[in-house]
């Protein structure tokens, strides 16, 4: 008579084990999916510059220049009206006129404010407070500084997404670059995908090469001999220039990608102009002087190409996380591998991993209970 209750107890035990096992499997699968999809965080987003897009230099109080500066794009100031030093500075193309306190400059300032606020809202990929940007190789993302940001030497931007790569740098205070410093690209990035949102003022050291668009809350100072492939946009202060080249909106134009409308295919005139088969005599032979050959290098490549100037030094060559060379500090550690171009997902990844381990533990426990139930 005791056999039936024992069978019922065993059946209930097996039923409980099956339910426990099913729950453990579901938990395990959910944890695995959570871990695998943890990298789907949103990428960094380039802001819309609006009416400021055509400007290479835009100040709020004044724009002041010393020396033979070249500004490729619009030049303006608002709500101030003073633009000095042009000439000897010049705008390219020369048909452009400066916008001193007019409605065009005012509308451009609205665009700068909108873009500045959009950059402020971007979540940080990594906080680099206290680190010098020199010697780093960074992938696309949003890099934040709780105070000032400094650049000494070379910062390499690894544009793993090519021209679509977006790099955003946010400082709560100043941006200061040393003399002779440079920002260079790997894998075809352009300055139109680099934004420096500066919480106060920016100062670029002499004879340096800088990539990207500076949107400063206060002022921007570019010292002697520095080239900026990008825009200088100051919301509340002055822009000060000294013998510089500012490429502005032309910085993203590739030198090897001509406008097809400006480079038409030659017409085939073989039917209308048959070749002359007469063999010229020595008296009829005209010396070749190259007059019919287009001069080599007659076209000037646009400022802002991705190749650093000769003598600026090669960017750090990076072979992978385990093979940084030239002493470069490669920001592609295990942490960074869990970071897609946008937000820091390390906490999400760790949570998913913890859930995965718990699920595995549940499966092990279910097997132990199954064996125990069968044994009983």
> Per-domain residue ranges for the chain?
50-252, 345-376
- Polymer length in residues for the chain: 376
The Cα–Cα gap between 198 and 153 comes to: 20
Per-range mean pLDDT, top range of 96-100, 248-252, 324-328: 96-100
Mean pLDDT of the chain: 74
Confidence grade of residue 41 (pLDDT, cut at 50, 70, 90): very low
SS (H, E, C) 176-197: EECCCCEEEEECCCCHHHEEEE
Instruction: Name the least confident of 62-66, 226-230, 261-265, 328-332.
Output: 261-265
Give the Cα-Cα-Cα angle 338, 344, 350 (nearest 5 degrees): 55
Give 347: exposed, middle or buried? Use CB within 10 Å, 0-12, 13-18, 19+.
Answer: exposed
Q: What is the pLDDT of residue 84?
A: 98
| Residue 59 pLDDT exceeds 70 | yes
**pLDDT at residue number 89:** 97
Whole-number Å distance between alpha carbons of 319 and 110:
43
pTM of the model: 0.63
């Amino acid at each position: 008579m005791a056999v039936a209750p024992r069978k019922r107890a065993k059946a209930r035990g097996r039923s409980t084990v099956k339910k426990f096992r099913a729950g453990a499997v579901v938990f395990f699968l959910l944890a695995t999916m959570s871990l695998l999809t943890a990298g789907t965080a949103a990428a960094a987003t380039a802001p819309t510059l609006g009416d400021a897009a055509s400007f290479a230099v835009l100040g709020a109080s004044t724009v002041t220049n010393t020396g033979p500066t070249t500004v490729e794009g619009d030049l303006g100031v608002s709500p101030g009206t003073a633009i000095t030093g042009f000439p000897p500075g010049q705008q390219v193309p020369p048909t452009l006129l400066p916008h001193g306190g007019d409605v065009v400059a005012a509308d451009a300032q609205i665009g700068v404010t909108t873009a500045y606020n959009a950059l402020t809202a971007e979540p940080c990929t990594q906080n680099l407070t206290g680190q010098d940007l020199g010697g780093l190789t960074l992938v696309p993302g949003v890099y934040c500084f709780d105070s000032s940001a400094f650049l000494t030497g070379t910062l390499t931007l690894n544009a793993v997404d090519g021209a679509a790569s977006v790099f955003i740098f946010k400082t709560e205070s100043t941006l200061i670059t040393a003399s002779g410093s440079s920002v260079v690209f790997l894998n075809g990035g352009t300055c139109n995908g680099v934004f420096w949102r500066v919480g106060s003022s920016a100062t670029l050291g002499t004879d340096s090469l800088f990539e990207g668009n500076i949107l400063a809350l206060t002022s921007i100072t570019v010292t002697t001999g520095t080239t900026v492939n990008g825009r200088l946009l100051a919301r509340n202060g002055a822009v000060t220039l000294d013998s510089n080249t500012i490429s502005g909106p032309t910085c993203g134009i590739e030198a090897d990608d001509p406008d097809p409308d400006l480079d038409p295919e030659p017409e085939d005139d073989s039917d209308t102009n048959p070749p002359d088969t007469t063999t010229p005599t020595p008296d009829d032979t005209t010396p070749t002087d190259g007059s019919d050959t287009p001069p080599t290098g007659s076209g000037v490549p646009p400022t802002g190409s991705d190749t650093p100037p000769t003598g600026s030094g090669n960017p750090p060559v990076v072979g992978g996380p385990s093979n940084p060379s030239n002493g470069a500090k490669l920001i592609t550690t295990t942490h960074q591998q869990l970071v897609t171009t946008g937000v820091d997902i390390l906490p999400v990844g760790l949570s998913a991993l913890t859930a995965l381990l718990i699920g595995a533990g549940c499966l092990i426990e279910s097997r132990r209970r199954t064996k125990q139930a069968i044994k009983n």
